Chains A and B, each alone.
Chain A
Amino acid sequence: MLLLYRASQSRGHEEVSETVKEDIGMKQHWMVRAISKTLTLIPIPFHSSRASFSSPSSSFALKNVTRSNFELSLADLRRHVRDSDFVSIDLEMTGVTSAPWRESFEFDRFDVRYLKVKDSAEKFAVVQFGVCPFRWDSTKQSFIAHPHNFYIFPRQEVGAYDPSYEFLCQTASIDFLAKYQFDFNLCVKEGISYLSRALEDAARLHLHSTHEDELSESPCTTKEIKDVPLVRMADILFVERMRNKISEWHDDLLQIRNRRSSQIPEDSNDSMNQFQTIFFRMRPAIKLNGFTSRQLRLIKSVIQKSFKDLAYIRVNGASCLEQFIVYTNSRRDLELLMKEVKGDLCKEAEMKIGAAIGFRHVIDLLSSEQKLIVGHNCFLDIAHVCRKFVGPLPSNLEEYVTLVQKNFPYIIDTKILLNASNVLQLKMKKSSTSLSKAFAILCPHIASGVSSSGLAPSSVTVEVQVDDMRSSNWNSGAKHEAGYDAFMTGCIFAQSCSHLNIDFSSHSMLMKEEKLQKYINLLYLSWSCGDIVNIKTGGTTTESSAFNTFKIQPTKILFPNIAIIWGFPSKLKAREIKESLCKVFGLTSVTSIYHLDRTAVFVQFNKSELVSDFLELKSRLEKKNDAISVFHPLSELLEGGNTRAASYEVYKEICGSPISKVLFADQAEAVGINLNTKLLENKVQENGSFANSQSPIDTKTADIKQPLKCTSGSSKFPKGEMLDIVSC
């Protein structure tokens, strides 16, 4: 899925359908192969690791991990990760963009791109997490890979209801997952839950503060719980009966203690089943069975009122709450008992929080082992990892980069590697760097499952181990399964290293390898536009397109020159908008126009002043609303009275909003209502007599742009006379 959407972000719809087609083709191919070959699963004993070298292609399933086998698998994974040279990862999510206009555009600045990725990571859920540790076995001259496929589901196990667990599903992505036979039932029922570090801290803090609260209050004085009003006859009788029963037990107990006799009061009364005499923390106690909650409340009040040396205690039993009446021989003893019970509760809650960490253990493992993390176009993946398992994402790219750096100091993106290295570009024959394409081209011996003998010397062999099964030419064929995608990514990386003449046998660590330093910690913010961020330094660059001739940037984008217009009549196309703007501001005034969706466009002017000129002219025209303005060239654009315009900064603000409407015009309106009502009122106030309905955003930009006000503007216009008429 990721692959597909990465492609879709980059090269539009043709590429998507191509990728899908290619995928389907591959699938069929695999199926045929699977049938034609005998499947030999070779179970090997634990220690004889040479058993299955150069066996025929085997296709046992990769390691699927769910709730039921998580604990065991985690223990194995710890070992594998510790021994590994690098770990590749891949994620499957429930969606990528929460609205069409949140896809990656050419006109997105670095900070806007980050906001879009942040929005995606905040809204969608991760449903599958592929982790594949790779270890170089120098005796075999081969990598050993352990592909793991974790099903995860954001089930909330502890704490008060937290809305951040709610997630969005993009219909197309869900449909896509379904196409690759994703098991949604398994995911919801058996998916591993998780708790981010931030939520864990919050839960522990909450637990301790309430615990201390309770300790600070002495157990007897503050129990001012109102008596259950005894309104019903039955209640009064019940309370009286209980009082008698308990005092009987109490007296017996004291007698026994005083006389040290062994006479045990065996009551044959069947109601005595409800009173089971036991010892609770070395103290004689009654376990209360089979009472309703109202009855229990009544019993509690009786105890508090009538028995000073008895305590009513509720604890979590094996399956449900258990209630006890416990005898304490002094007030100090009572306090001690209360403390013990509360301590237990607290410990129990701590345990629960610990157990709720779930899948985050894997992330903590990757983070603490400081292994080299390998992903394919993994900026979004890393953002998901941070959001889901660390905490809320910071509001700007710089802080985010620090956060990533702190947790994952070494990340390598195979997509960057393939595009930036000359050697690899040649090997790739300039073909698409999508995951499956790259895998097929760079690792044909793995992709097609050919036996390892007779390979080109540069081919890296990868042996796959799943539990006790091993194969040197393994292929599960389950594409778009996170575990398999992670495996492919790792293979691409291993093969790339080999092409770069990196010696795996040398004892230095891979991330310290000189030849990789050019590529390490670089991630694509947007691969299609070649925007790269360095997560070590926070620096951003745009890829020099020396090797990517197909990614030519026609003009440099100057963000201050950009205005964004939305809400215009939907029949208007970019060409017509450009024409009407050129009529006003001059033939060369508009450099480019780009549709966000059918309701909105970016307009890049050749001068930044033109943005404010345009915004001012627009609001002037709207205020006038007389016969002359109808003939103005912009009237077509303003037709309908819903056309809004703003500078680029407002676009950023809109992208940063948590709201996601499908159409940009609706989005802008929704955000505008929330943020700028007061500004609108402000403006109306100032202008007093104007009864026009000005867009809040316009007002806002007008406010911002006021100092830049360009009074000589009209003289620049070729059609100045007409403007004069309009503006006077």
Chain B
Amino acid sequence: MELNDGNLQTLTEYLRKTLNPDPTVRRPAEKFLESVEGNQNYPLLLLTLLEKSQDNVIRVCAAVTFKNYIKRNWRIVEDEPNKISDADRTAIKANIINLMLSSPEQIQKQLSDAISIIGREDFPQKWPDLLTEMVTRFRSGDFHIINGVLRTAHSLFKRYRHEFKSNELWTEIKLVLDTFALPLTELFKATIDLCQTHANDVSALKVLFSSLTLISKLFYSLNFQDLPEFFEDNMETWMTNFHGLLTLDNKLLQTDDEEEAGLLELLKSQICDNAALYAQKYDEEFQPYLPRFVTAIWGLLVSTGQEVKYDLLVSNAIQFLASVCERPHYKHLFEDQNTLTSICEKVIVPNMEFRSADEEAFEDNSEEYIRRDLEGSDIDTRRRAACDLVRGLCKFFEGPVTAIFSGYVNSMLTEYAKNPGQNWKHKDAAIYLVTSLASKAQTQKHGITQANELVNLTEFFVNHILPDLKSSNVNEFPVLKADAIKYVMIFRSQLPKEQLLQAVPLLITHLQAESTVEHTYAAHALERLFTMRGPNNATLITSAEMAPFTEQLLTNLFKALSLPGSAENEYIMKAIMRSFSLLQEAIVPYIPSLIGQLTHKLLLVSKNPSKPHFNHYLFESLCLSVRITCKANPATVSSFEEALFPVFTEILQNDVQEFLPYVFQVMSLLLEIHSNSIPASYMALFPHLLQPILWERTGNIPPLVRLLQAYLEKGGAAIATSAADKIPGLLGVFQKLIASKANDHQGFYLLNSIIENMPPESITQYRRQIFILLFQRLQNSKTTKFIKSFLVFVNLYCAKYGAIALQEIFDSIQTKMFGMVLEKIIIPEVQKVSGAVEKKICAVGIIKILTECPAMMDTEYTKLWTPLLQALIGLFELPEDDSIPDDEHFIDIEDAPGYQTAFSQLAFAGRKEHDPIGDAVGNPKILLAQSLHKLSTACPGRVPSMLSTSLNADALKFLQGYLQAANVQLV
């Protein structure tokens, strides 16, 4: 591509087309540009256009296109072709600084970004003169140019704030410091002087202050990794000037905007960060300056207003004080009673006030308000910063600070009492202050767990919280109501039980409040109270104690779901779930009406699932309804099926992916309740459950396996007779699962159920193939997890079909296979099997091999007899071997059986542990003794001789113990 007018013209046309809203015009133009961008001179054409085009739109468009081009192509990736010719690279680097500096701001920004992308790759080695070129512009005196340079420098250097120390990085920083630090310092001083010269020229000041902000940001980046020698030597200059700027005010720079931070605020905020950086990392060197900064920042806080635009500055400034006041060697700066009082009065209290912005959020943006207030996403807010400062001060001055605030709390409450309608915000602040003063440690699960002993929480509750909760009009002063509810909730572990019981019916009443925040808080508080544990780990509040309120509670919770804004309120749904779980059989009378409401809700949300937590708790509530009702009367299961199946069918038909795992779990729960038969409605669904597409989604696998297990348990015989053609499909699922390291244990769950529940003849023809698949996997990728599951399966097979059947099928696949599996897998690995049921299965299987398999007695397998017995005794007596080979450590945690966060497991759909051996074998050790006895009587003399020749002494001792306990002797 030549650099000529023709090409410039073409490019201009295509650029213009890329702005066309019509995709049939825009897309081909974009494609064209992409197709030519590999040509030499393409970037230079763009640069020419952005500099010289007559059309401003084209200039900006060329700039953006250029930046994106650089972003995509500048990096040279190893083994891939260089996408920009060296000549173009050199030309770009030679011109871009000048171009950037002489362009209008809109274009300047794009070019500045491009420079930092290039710089990230090329600086310093391949762009050695970049910095010097930039630094020389400092002397230009033109602050439009200077700010361009500073902005570019900032985007180049800001990565120093988060990258790890490395020699490469530090070499670069050193180079930057050598070239940049001194000119930057000179510029800083000169800019400050100019601010004085132009103190009355607002437009000049604006430019100068944005320079100062950028300079302060650069200071932060350059000082982040370590304190550079240059800045240590020049600390006086920088800190004195920073201090001066912190205390400076200029009417001309004040903005009218209430929301957006002005230049002064941005600058001071950055200076607070710089001071905090030095205080944290370079304390030894910064110590002489620190007290001055404390005073200045404190002064700043006292004089800064309530507007939102000051929020960042104020919260940065308070956080600075909070971090300093905790340090023992600065304690003295805060010690004086007047200082403390003044900080409490002028810094903390004003920043705890409920502002109009908070009020707006409370009313119009309740979700955001709740997230901030309840879930702690308030990190950068003033209230939060003030709270942290209270906590910091309490470290050394808990007594005095508590005393000072007690006075404030009282006076604020008095103000409120005088005229609640006018002064309700005073009470809000008082409650907030008490909360922040009293809470020393907090968790979601328990609320406040450690409180300031100097604050009497119960007294405050009785005198100031309870009256609000009791007020007859739930819709009056909703903020104070929400405060009162929150107080109960977070101090629940600190308040006596009788107070909590007193609060419960009041909270139930507040579920009816119109305010979303208020009824949400009420639901949340109830939910939290219901999870509290009393002595003996029972719930603190019992179902009996709730009896008088049960109906009201359930009614109000479901009514609250119909309040505006709360149709899918997760807090309410969680409270429903928790209430069911607490009340247990007390809910049974209400279920017929509630189940209708729940299924109706389910139908609605399944159209467009958008609140995952809400949906989850909805399904949990359904499970609870089923469990609790059917526990009392299993026959009611059919009425649930009647209510739920129509909705479930819709969900399955519409393939609502988010809900399928839930549906499978609820169906499993329902099916498991049936006594040993399988209703036709389930059988009709069976073929659909084997569809490969369902098994492609990992979240479906655990619940589907469980559902198939339930089918097999209840209807193994029915499947064998009426759906025998589906058996290959079922085994196909097993084969798919077994092939995956992540899901193989699920495959074994399925296989074990097949072996256990299907009539033997129905699977005879598939057995050999099943084992071949297992052996192939064992050969190709043997993992500890697979071996553990394999051992359980092999022994279950043995327990079910007998040892001879096992030996014969193994040896029919390959000669001496049985011996190899015993020697290489069972004997060395059985110690790794975990779980009581799994161990029992292995024990029974091995006992059968030892005592019911003739091949073990008269072939070359005989040599494995004692080692196998020894392994079995080891399984009984030794601790589980939880070692894992080194090369398996990388396997993800998700691969471990039992760890199932990947799918949405329902806590209340839980399945009882299944024991296929069951009561048939009470104590496997006794079974071993008895079986050995039987064997020894069949072939007298052989067993004792095998034992005495090679069983080790410890094992023998244990074995004798078993024989004694079983009261048998070997002959």
**Interaction A to B:** no
